[in-house]
Amino acid sequence: MTDFVLYLTTVLVWGSTWLVINFQLGEVAPEVSVVYRYVIAAALLFAWCLLRGVRLRFGATAHVRFMLLGLLLFGLNYIATYSAQAYIASALNAVVFSSMMWLNVINTRLFFGTRIEPRMWIGAAIGMAGLGVLFWPDIAEVSLSDRTLLGASLSLGGAFVASLGNMVSHRAQREGLPILASNAWGMFYGAVFTALIAWRRELPFNFEYSAAYVLSLLYLAVFGSIVAFGCYLKLLGRIGPARAGYAMVMFPVVAVVLSVLFEGLAIEWHIVTGLLLVLGGNLAILGLRRVVAQARTLVRTLVRTRARTWARGALATARVGGFAGMPEAQQAGQAIARLFERKTLKQPPCRDCP
């Protein structure tokens, strides 16, 4: 797949998972739904690793990393995220969760001593201000029992826990642990820890057999946990973490659009302003000039890929006599095709081209 397809898949799938989570809320407790989701995802990832010959045997130290990864990134994080959506719209949940970008910046400084550039502090401040504006009507009438503030707190807590999980993942990658195997074991331990939490809280391990619940569970396990993450990791390896991180800016936009269409989210001033501030803060952290350059590169890649495909098709058509009996048209088709190939493939001029 091209970089554009990988990027588009990541943004659309991750942006849509917030709406799909709504179908997981009902008869089954959020903790139990998370267990089901990651049992399926871990089983599929283990199977994939075995088929690809990825090493799955590791020492005790590595498994400690996997346990922490599972508890933070695939356990507590999703319990908080699912629970938050019982109180706030999926779009607001997604926007709050995108604050993980500046939480990553702060935690990277705390745990690894990475220098924080001034633009990152500015971006974090803008992002926090955006969250305040997003929920301003509820903050203005603050109440400890307010459902919206409770949902926002759970969502922000989930983002913080996920950020800690990212720190564990970063450390594991520094130690040379393979990403696919780490995620497979992490999802397995995440399912185990979440099951223990559900058991300790005496939650029933029931199952809802409705089509909405089953299909949404499969979508979240297969697409939300494996396909999108796999596309993101492949993109990460091709274009680097800075450019791949732009997905964190875009998926809240997808979530907001879907929430407006399917949840009836009202477009009010504080939602629009808060969303723009949060996205602006994320852009500031990534670096606005860098993001613009990366966006242009993505567009150019798409245009060149399409133009190259069209040019080769036109050239092939001309060569096999697609303009039989029309030598002038055939020559023109060959010339246009060669022109596109030179421009898209950056080949030197052809001496024989008219």
Beta-carbon-side half-sphere exposure of residue 229 (alpha carbons within 13 Å): 20
Q: Any long-range contacts for 302-305 (C-beta under 8 Å, 24+ apart)? A: 302/2, 302/4, 304/344, 305/2, 305/4
CB contact at 8 A, 96 and 135: no
CA dihedral sign, ordered 245, 71, 168, 284: positive
- Number of C-beta neighbours around residue 89 at 10 A: 23
Q: How far is Cα of residue 112 from the mean position of the Cα atoms in its chain?
A: 24
**What average pLDDT does this structure show over 153-170?**
89
Distance of alpha carbon 31 from alpha carbon 42, whole angstroms: 16
pLDDT of res. 299 = 64
**Percentage, residues of the chain above pLDDT 90:** 33
Distance of alpha carbon 45 from alpha carbon 185, whole angstroms: 9
Closest by Cα among 145, 161, 49, 50 to 100: 161
**What average pLDDT does this structure show over 248-266?**
82
Question: What single DSSP character describes residue 221?
Answer: I
Q: Lowest-pLDDT range, 22-31, 45-54, 151-160, 172-181?
A: 172-181
Above 90 in pLDDT, residue 160?
A: yes
* Residue 201, C-beta contacts closer than 8 angstroms, at least 6 positions apart: 31
Domain boundaries, given as residue ranges, for the chain: 3-91+143-265, 299-345
pLDDT of res. 319 = 52
Residue 274's identity, in one-letter code, is G
Q: How confident is the model at residue 326 (pLDDT cuts 50, 70, 90)?
A: very low
**What average pLDDT does this structure show over 248-275?**
82
Q: How distant, in Å, are the alpha carbons of 63, 171, 351 from that of 175? A: 13, 6, 54
Each residue's pLDDT tens digit, 65-94: 999 999 998 999 999 999 998 888 888 888
pLDDT of res. 347 = 45
Q: How far is Cα of residue 62 from the mean position of the Cα atoms in its chain?
A: 25
Each residue's pLDDT tens digit, 164-198: 988 888 888 788 888 889 989 999 999 999 999 99
As given in the structure block, the two tokens for residue 286 are 């990534």
Each residue's pLDDT tens digit, 96-149: 887 887 788 788 888 888 777 787 778 778 877 887 787 777 666 655 457 888
CA dihedral sign, ordered 267, 161, 74, 56: positive
CB contact at 8 A, 15 and 255: yes
Above 50 in pLDDT, residue 322?
A: no
**What average pLDDT does this structure show over 254-277?**
84
**Percentage, residues of the chain above pLDDT 70:** 73
What DSSP element (H or E) covers 178? none
Distance of alpha carbon 110 from alpha carbon 160, whole angstroms: 13
Above 50 in pLDDT, residue 350?
A: no
Distance of alpha carbon 183 from alpha carbon 112, whole angstroms: 22
Instruction: Tell me the whole-structure pTM to 2 decimals.
Output: 0.73
pLDDT of res. 29 = 94
Q: How confident is the model at residue 257 (pLDDT cuts 50, 70, 90)?
A: confident
Q: How distant, in Å, are the alpha carbons of 146, 177, 263, 306, 314 from that of 309? A: 56, 39, 40, 5, 9
Each residue's pLDDT tens digit, 286-307: 676 665 665 666 566 656 655 6
* Backbone dihedral angles phi then psi of residue 57, each to the nearest 5 degrees: -95, 125
Q: How confident is the model at residue 155 (pLDDT cuts 50, 70, 90)?
A: very high
pLDDT of res. 353 = 39
**What average pLDDT does this structure show over 271-279?**
84
